[in-house]
Amino acid sequence: MSEFASFDQPVMMKIDKIIDESNGTKSFMFKYKLDYDPGQFIMVWLPGVDEKPFAVSYLGDGFFGITVLERGKFTKLLHQMGPGDRIGIRGPFGHGYSFPDSVKNGKGSVCVIGGGCGMASVTVLIEKLQNNNPTILMGAATSRSLFFKNRYKNLTLFTDDGSEGIKGYPTDVLEDLHNKHEYDIIYTCGPEIMMSKVFEFCKKHDIQFEASLERYMKCGIGVCGQCVCDGQMVCKDGPVFDLQALSNMNDFGKYSLLKSGKRVSLQEYADWRSC
Amino acid sequence: MTTPSLDTNLCGIKMSNPTVLPSGFLGTSKSLLKRVADSGVGAATIKSVSFEAREGHKNPTVIPFEGGMLNAVGYSNPGAEETAREFSNLKDVPIPVIASIIGTEPDDFVRVVDKLSANEFSAIELPLSCPHTPGFGLLAGQGTPESTGKIVAAVRNASKLPIFVKLSPNIPEIGNLAKAAENAGADAITAVNTLGPGMIINIEARKPILSYKVGGVSGQALRPVATRCVYDIYEAVKIPIIGTGGISTGRHAIEMIMAGATAIGVGTAIYERGIDVFRKICQEMETWMSENSYNSIHEMIGVAHE
């Protein structure tokens, strides 16, 4: 539909169709070619409202989609839109997941862990890793915040409260799974506390590891410094970082910047983001 | 043949090369200052700090276009106290660090200066020239000789550090404004802040892209204006100039130095050429200087006036 596949400025794209993913989550599909690597992000602009980063959760020949949980004003307005309505998209930006030689061409043992909304960031990755038949673990606070639970056959679900799947966290079973599968690499996107536990596990067992970080972003193109995490710009150097990079990032699993640039604990940051 | 020296002395501040990270680019944390130092910058400016914390404008706040960039970030910053904490132990950063301070009234600037007095900043910069944030810069009437003089004099009384005054390219008689800053005790002029404000409209959305609608123009589109401003200021004052606006190559840097700059700011080019742009510009300057028989930066300053 468009001869361009990446965009410096927002391009107004028509919503082609909307998929109700249940539990207050919808996917918005666009008939555009997007040169997107799994783990990258796009900036979504609602003119006159705000602009926010999203992962691409559906990607095919000439189409892509994003998956959005209704949470605040921005996502509420997005959820009110219908097919034919237009929103602004710029990107894709950043540095996505990488595929080391150990997992190329379907060889190698892979585990993908998605936590909550982070599941949207790993779907395109999972599809790219089809030939590796990856272990897929998905965790959420409660059954009401699970989505994509029917998208993959071999998916193991976890909820903090046990309302669906296994009660507990994906990290609870990593040791057993690794003994069985001997993972070459574990990819994850989700709450940073969970990701830092997986990071520690991978460090201990010498497994390659990649995680996608979330920080409040402004420019999205590596100039403003808002999304800094220990000298790394999450929008440009990330959002995906490997084990070695994360080992040098003291803020990982601990601190994040509020909109003012104030550095606070991840808990305080999460409280601000969820309101 | 000896390699030319890029050593620069900016009102007593020793720099290994003339490149400066301007305020508003990457200066949000000490960790990023170390990163730009690793990327070869000569000195770095922190993101402008006000006494109270500010969230700034909503997104979109920065938008690139074919002539550079348009921004209206709106001075988001965590406030003076938090900034003093973030930039403590500045000896960890191996380059001179400049504190960019903003306020509305002269006293507001002084309150921030006091909060940062224990930090080891090498200089204070006063951007009296922002074109897109109510209560600050041009929108607070700070771009007049009278207002500039008052603010500089107040900060002069409050600090012994070198004071840089950052001017707007919008001012027709920019030499007079620079003169007012010099007379009030400024040690250097930073020229220039962003131009405008400008506007970019998405025609399908039928709306300006920036949430604040308008923003300052930086990058290529600004460069000839910035060069002319530096040229005019050089004729008007004796204090050194940090020439800033659209510099992305060694040739641009040398052009700005020949117009009268002692040091040069590089910001928008980070987007175009990556964070290593500082090292690239320095290498390009060295090559050109070798080929053209210049041994030092000093020999080139203001030569376009001869």
CA dihedral B249, B255, B257, B259 (to 10 degrees): -150
Distance CA B278, CA B282 (A): 6
Q: What is the pLDDT of residue B2?
A: 77
Q: Checking DSSP bridges between strand B97-100 and strand B43-45, what pairing results, if any?
A: parallel
User: Nearest residue on chain A to B203, judged by CA atoms?
Assistant: A12
Does A228 sit within 8 Å of B53, measured CB to CB?
A: no
Q: Is B130 a catalytic site residue? A: yes
Distance CA B193, CA B190 (A): 8
For tokens 């290994």, the residue is B16
SS3 state of residue B68: strand
A-chain residues within 8 Å CB-CB of B209? 9-10, 45, 88
Does B69 sit within 8 Å of A260, measured CB to CB?
A: no
Catalytic choice (B11, B130, B229, B282):
B130
Residue B81 has pLDDT above 90, yes or no: yes
Ranges of CATH 2.40.30.10 domains, chain A: 7-93
Does B64 sit within 8 Å of A48, measured CB to CB?
A: no
Q: What is the 3-state secondary structure (H, E, C) of B236-270?
A: HCCCCEEEECCCCCHHHHHHHHHHCCCEEECCCHH
Evaluate whether B23 touches B45 at the Cβ level (below 8 Å).
yes
Distance CA B24, CA B21 (A): 9
CA dihedral B169, B173, B179, B185 (to 10 degrees): -50
Q: Return the closest-CA partner of residue A93 out of A2, A256, A222, A216.
A: A222
Q: What is the mean pLDDT of chain B?
A: 96
Substitution target in B46, B48, B65, B76 with the highest count of A β-carbons within 10 Å is B76
Q: Return the closest-CA partner of residue A113 out of A42, A174, A22, A180.
A: A174
% pLDDT > 90, chain B: 98
Does A222 sit within 8 Å of B270, measured CB to CB?
A: yes
Ranges of CATH 3.40.50.80 domains, chain A: 112-204
What confidence tens digit (pLDDT) does each residue in B195-234 have? 999 999 999 999 999 999 999 999 999 999 999 999 999 9
Asked whether the ipTM of the predicted complex exceeds the cut of 0.85, the reply is yes
Does A218 sit within 8 Å of B59, measured CB to CB?
A: yes
Q: What is the pLDDT of residue A6?
A: 77
Q: What Rg value do the Cα atoms of chain B yield, rounded?
A: 18
Instruction: Calculate mean pLDDT across residues B31-50.
Output: 97
SS3 state of residue A117: helix
For tokens 């990071």, the residue is A199
Range list of β-strands (E), A6-127: 7-14, 17-22, 25-30, 41-46, 50-55, 58-60, 63-69, 86-93, 110-115
Q: Does B25 touch chain A (CB under 8 A)?
A: yes
| pLDDT < 50 stretches in chain A | 1-2
Q: How far out from the chain centre does Cα A196 lie?
A: 15
B-chain residues within 8 Å CB-CB of A261? 28, 47, 76-78, 82
Residue B162 has pLDDT above 70, yes or no: yes
Neighbours of B230 (CB within 10 A): 31
Distance CA A39, CA B269 (A): 26
What confidence tens digit (pLDDT) does each residue in B83-107 have? 999 999 999 999 999 999 999 999 9
The superfamily in CATH containing domain A7-93 is: Translation factors (2.40.30.10)
For tokens 């508003």, the residue is B24
Phi, psi torsion values for B293, nearest 5 degrees: 60, 40
Distance CA B282, CA B288 (A): 10
Structure tokens at A90: 């710029």
Q: Return the closest-CA partner of residue A242 out of A213, A210, A214, A212.
A: A210
The B residues from 61 to 100 touching A (CB cutoff 8 Å) are 61-65, 69, 71, 73, 76-79, 82, 86
H-assigned helices in A52-92: 73-79
What confidence tens digit (pLDDT) does each residue in B175-201 have? 999 999 999 999 999 999 999 999 999
**Which residue ranges form the domains of chain B, and what is each CATH number?**
8-305 (3.20.20.70)
CA dihedral B131, B137, B140, B141 (to 10 degrees): -90
Least confident span in A148-152, B68-72, B105-109, B131-135: A148-152
Confidence tier at B1 by pLDDT (50, 70, 90): low
Structure tokens at B155: 């900060």
Does B28 sit within 8 Å of A262, measured CB to CB?
A: no
Task: Fold for A112-204, please state it.
Answer: Rossmann fold (3.40.50)
